[in-house]
Structure 1
Amino acid sequence: MFRPTTDALAGSLTLTALVALLPLLTLFLLLGVLRIAAWKAAVASLVMSLLVAVIVYSMPVGQSLMAGLEGAAFGFFPIMWVVINAIWVYNMTVVTGHFDVLRRSFARISDDQRIQAVIIAFCFGALLEALAGFGTPVAITSVMLIALGFRPIKAATVALVANTAPVAFGALAVPITTLAQVTGLPEHELASIVGRQTPILGLFVPMALVFIIDRGRGVRATLPATLTCGIAFAVAQFATSNYFSTQLTDIVASLVGAASVVLLLRFWQPAESYVEAPEPELAALGTSNHRRHVHTGSHVVEGVPAASIGGSDHPIGRGTGTVEDLSARDANRHDSRADVLRAYAPYLLIIAIFSLSQIPAVASFLGAPTKSFQWPGLHLQTPSGKPSTLPTFKFNWLSAAGTLMIVAGLLTIPAIGIPWRKAVKAYGDTYRQLGAAIFTVMAVLGLAYVMNASGQTASLGAWLAGAGSAFALLSPILGWIGVAVTGSDTSSNSLFGALQVAAAKDVGLPPALMAAANSSGGVLGKMISPQNLAIAAAAVGLTGREGDLFRRVIGWSLGFLAFMCVLVYLQSTSVLSWMLP
């Protein structure tokens, strides 16, 4: 039985915590500075965590390796299991052309790609986060943006930054229910506090997305839409989490946000429409004898190949038409109501299946075959001497989100009329497309499990908890670190939730506020998590360029985190304590 100690190095908590930072520093240095491919950075960081575990924390080599293997298994199931099957559903719509219909449907709401990005990446992404989570919204919305003409790198960046405010209530609020379990605090109280923190992020995220796309000029031009969406989403998220249902929070907020923008666009449109300029390196693919331009307001887009669906030089597909050709085809193409219904059918099926799975009787049926077992060769205690739950592996093969996504995929086959042979081929192609992302996520989760099992994360948490009353300012950072490493707000809450409560009691801070801050701060680590970076890069065909994505989103992650730290600190004082329930 291995019991970690938080001051394993020379009896000093500070020295031990600084050494425990080495795997994370290795990860971020290789990704953000040296631009190493994510899978290589993840493997190097995993090796570093194993060395720290064995040399500094005196964890047996066998148990260290088994912890890494358990983490890798968890990385595939349930995390990548849902992503793989969600992308499969998407790929089938690409094969049949129904995704083009969906793209045209979104495009007809507004021909301004800044507005389209807000609806797709923020609102539709929030709905996907509410239903499935685990990287699904990033994977699907990024390729949807590419289909609308966005550059792959910008599409991935927008999708990653958009996947913030909804995360705390993602996967039907599993992060909140998990936080309640590990802290012993009432779920409704935690949901109410988080519902008074993340909605404030929701106010600004739509504007941040537009800034990424078209800088300050775009923010000013689309302010009515982004404010409408942000306010509607924030109010709905606050009201639903506080007075209606924790589990339905993001579903309601995403639908209300999207509906508010659609309603606004009936009475208002941006003065100038915006069309994303294609990637400069794609210009070489165009003809050299002529270069056409598309005038959209005062914006000029060179007529070079735009992202489209159906080609072969991109894992998702890239056509050889121009932005002008694509827009002209869309303008002249009329999709019947039946075509539009079939295009939306996969996502309607996903909503229906995940909603049905929450009915108590159905949930009980799906959960009946679940098996939990102790991971072989792993015998752990927590630093406090209690039995660790880490070696318990839960194999909920029927109720897992990925399995439900397979059911949605099987129903999608007849709904969109794809031949079974092509559906099976699309499934195999999906694994090949996501191969590097699967390996990366498994390595990152192996890293997270080794750090957890050996006591490295506990040392970091205890070190930050020693800040006294200033802990309120640092509390969200713990959640941010947890999600940055594991890619999951649920895992971060499992990791640091109890520690947040214990630290809060020691320094006289509200325990529920500190626990909620772990979840709210954690959502801002999602965009820099190697897991999410790998998923985004694989989805848009940029495998190996995760470091480029990291550098584009790290500023947003840190900026929003600083805001959340200040908010939580002020909520712990008389300045904003009135915001708490």
Structure 2
Amino acid sequence: MVWNQVIDPFHNLLASAGVAVIPVLVIFWALVLRKMKGYQASLLAIVAALIIAILVYRMPVGLALLSIGNGALYGLFPICWIILPAVFLFNCAVHSGQFGIIRQFMASITPDRRIQALLIAFSFGSFLEGTAGFGAPVAITAAMLTGLGFNPLYAAGLCLIANTAPVAFGSIGIPITVAHQVTGLPEQALSAIIGRTLPFLSALLPFYLVTLMAGFRQAREVAPAALVSGLSFAIIQFLTANYLGPALPDVLAGIGSIISLLVLLRWWRPRTIWHFPEEPAAVQETGSLPYNRLLWAMTPFILLTIMIIIWGLPPVKNWLTARGTLQFAIPGLHNVIREHNGSLRPHIFVLNYGSAAGTAVLLAALFALPLSGMTLKQGAQVFAATLRQLRFPILTIAVVLAFAYLMNDSGITQTIAGVLAGTGILFPFFSPLLGWLGVFITGSDTSSNALFGKLQASTATSIGVDPLVTVGANASGGVIGKMISPQSIAVAAAAGQLVGKESDLFRFTVRHSFILLCIICCIVLAQAYLFKWMIPIYTHS
């Protein structure tokens, strides 16, 4: 039996959208006003979405429940499969004493929290986003900053906001590859248009982060560092995205930003050392660490980088996928939902345990164990402790993905998108908002591009705007939604020791999400009508 998806149940799109947006508002209400835990807010949102899907959209109860189960399964793999080994690797580094040496090294570079945030949250986090993606960058960098002594809320919040710059090119360019597959627009052209939008944000973000963290006056003290960090990243991101494609902008820009900042610090230092008010006064570490000790301490993260890069190489990835993948259609759900365009919605669960980024991270952690001096028994104890640490975040992520799948399968998300698509010539301004909404709901720029890419392209064509602008805007706007996505909030809370305080983290980031979204909306509107020379020349396939 096939169920026909309904997009406008009230035959009035505004009225239908007014009901469709209720589950999204429930999450905002629960996290911002009621200050609920992440899984509690998501469970409430699922209940609201389930009631609306069944009573308003006439989705069969069994189908709705299967959709929820499918989303929860996807939350466990691959999302949690990345977070669990990433936090396990970090915990092993702490247990072995390696992270203590890294902390000492960071303090020897500078004990200034502002510079540490630029190096780890912005530059190193961008590098990790380019190699792994799917939550690993926020999990690792938030844990590192917390371990260095950062206020946990600021550690997690800063890493979420810093993660906006690289998300569109995350995980070896997968979001752009998906946008290309959905729309037929050339992958290189999509990479170029996004690479002509996000560098503006990338250049601004380091100074914005430091201002958020320490205030404008304190940010001015480290303006040279923020300028070097942001501009080096933006320039490399622009050049790589425009001339090399979508796979390497984050990797090369992250490395380039780190090197540029370290070179600057050899010749320049801020006048004062800044730390959080509740911290004891920061003191510059004296003496240098032996290189062999520092190399030993960095072993887990060097192995992590090597493994993730190897796993991302197309020949390796294809080989692992061919030999380490199980996939099956979800019974009762696969090709049972007919979308409003007449196509049947596939639901195939892919367990690519061989090529998954989480597998690379886990192997890096296991290879690092003997090199760190830990026994397998000690590693098993740390792994068990990590499982206990992440039990509620894992539940939260499973619930969040269940909510996202129900919203998409029922047609609720498409109703909201339909209203935005009806804004006519103003659509380029609102197209990043559509990407923002997609990432807020799904937690993934890749998923958002798959969900709304075709709608973005067709709507732009109908109003006489180059579809490259709006499809690129979907990815660019989506990166801003990443910082407030319940999935991302759960990951950051787990890594930053804020489990149960997801509402605090959400309220920390939500205002900045709207501010940065407005900037992207204005850039895209200008590209569509004023600065058409920014649109790359391409041939539609």
TM-score (norm 1): 0.89
Match of 2:332 among 377, 381, 384: 377
- What does residue 284 of structure 1 align with? none
Q: Which residue number corresponds to residue 21 of structure 1?
A: 21
Which range moves more in the overlay, 410-419 or 216-225?
410-419
Name the structure 2 match of 1:438.
Answer: 394
Find the aligned partners of 2:102 and 2:61 in 1 and give their Cα distance. 52
1:454 aligned to 2:410? yes
C-alpha distance in 2 between matches for 1:502 and 1:272: 54
**Does residue 305 of structure 2 align to residue 351 of structure 1?**
yes
Match of 1:386 in 2: 343
Offset from partner CA, 1:14-70 (integer Å, 9 cap, x none): 111111101100011100111111110000001111111111110000000000100
> Structure 1 residues 89, 550: closer, same or farther in 2, change over 3 A?
same
Q: Secondary structure at the match of 1:372?
A: strand
CA distance in 1 between counterparts of 2:78 and 2:423 reads 36
How far apart, in 1, do the equivalents of 2:120 and 2:533 lie? 34
Shift of 1:147: 2.4
Q: Aligned residue for 2:241?
A: 241
3-state SS of 1:265 partner = helix
CA contact (8 A) 1:70 1:375 kept: yes
Instruction: Give 1:7-406 correspondences, 5 Å limit.
Output: 7-9=8-10, 11-278=11-278, 303=280, 327=283, 330-331=285-286, 335-368=289-322, 369-378=324-333, 379-389=336-346, 391-406=347-362
Q: CA deviation at 1:91?
A: 0.6
Match of 1:580 among 518, 535, 539: 535
Q: What is the letter of the counterpart of residue 399 of structure 2? A: A
In 1: Cα distance, 2:196 partner to 2:363 partner: 35
Q: Deviations over 1:326-381 (max 9, x none)?
A: x58x546x533222112212222122122222334322210113233211221212
Distance 2:351 2:147 in 1: 36
1:473 maps to 2:473:
no
1:495 deviates by: 0.9
Out of 563-572 and 485-494, give the one that drifted further.
485-494
* Aligned: 1:524 with 2:480: yes
What's the counterpart of residue 292 of structure 1? none
> Conserved in 1, the CA contact under 8 Å of 2:489 and 2:506?
yes
The 5 Å alignment of 1:483-522 reads: 483-522=439-478
Return the offset for 1:130.
1.1
Show CA shifts across 1:367-402 (max 9, x none): 11323321122121221110213x122221111111
> Which string of whole-angstrom CA distances, capped at 9 and with x for unpartnered residues, describes residues 140-198 of structure 1?
21222122221111111111111101111111111111111111111111011111111
Q: Percent identity?
A: 41
CA spacing shift, 1:529–1:359, aligned 2, 3 Å: closer
Contact 2:432 2:474 in 1 (8 A): yes
Q: CA–CA distance in 1 between the matches of 2:338 and 2:326?
A: 22
User: Out of 545, 554, 561, which is 2:510 matched to?
Assistant: 554
Q: Deviations over 1:420-472 (max 9, x none)?
A: 11111111111111111111111111011001001011111111101111100
Amino acid at match of 2:518: A
Which residue in the other structure is 1:319 paired with?
Answer: none
Q: Which residue of 1 aligns with 2:3?
A: 2
Q: Secondary structure at the match of 2:337?
A: coil
- Contact kept, 8 Å, 1:134 with 1:488, in 2: the verdict is yes
- Maintained 8 Å contact 1:149/1:276: no
Measure the CA separation in 2 of the matches of 1:360 and 1:559. 37
Query: Letter of the aligned partner of 1:395 in structure 2?
Result: L
* Distance across 2 between alignment mates of 1:165 and 1:184: 25
Counterpart Cα distance in 1 of 2:4 and 2:217: 56
* Residue deviations 1:490-529 (CA, integer Å, cap 9, x gap): 1111111111111112211111111110000000001111
Q: Is the 8 A contact 2:131 2:312 kept in 1?
A: no
Quick one: distance in 2 between partners of 1:395 and 1:469?
43
Matched residues in 2 for 1:361 and 1:260: separation?
Answer: 32
Q: Distance in 1 between matches of 2:467 and 2:312?
A: 29
For 2:539, the equivalent position in structure 1 comes to: none
Counterpart residue type for residue 470 of structure 2: M
Give me the whole-angstrom Cα distance separating, in 2, the residues matched to 1:120 and 1:507. Answer: 43
Offset of 1:107 from its aligned partner? 2.0
State the secondary structure of the residue aligned to 2:349: strand
Are the counterparts in 1 of residues 477 and 520 from structure 2 also a CA contact under 8 Å? yes
TM-score by length of 2: 0.96
Code of the aligned partner of 2:39: W
Letter in 2 for 1:222: V
Per-residue CA distance 1:189-234 (angstroms, 9 max, x = gap): 1011111111111111111111122101121101011011100000
Q: Which amino acid in structure 2 is aligned with residue 408 of structure 1?
A: A
Question: Which sections of structure 2, spanning at least 5 residues, go unmatched?
Answer: 537-541
Secondary structure at the counterpart of residue 572 of structure 1: helix
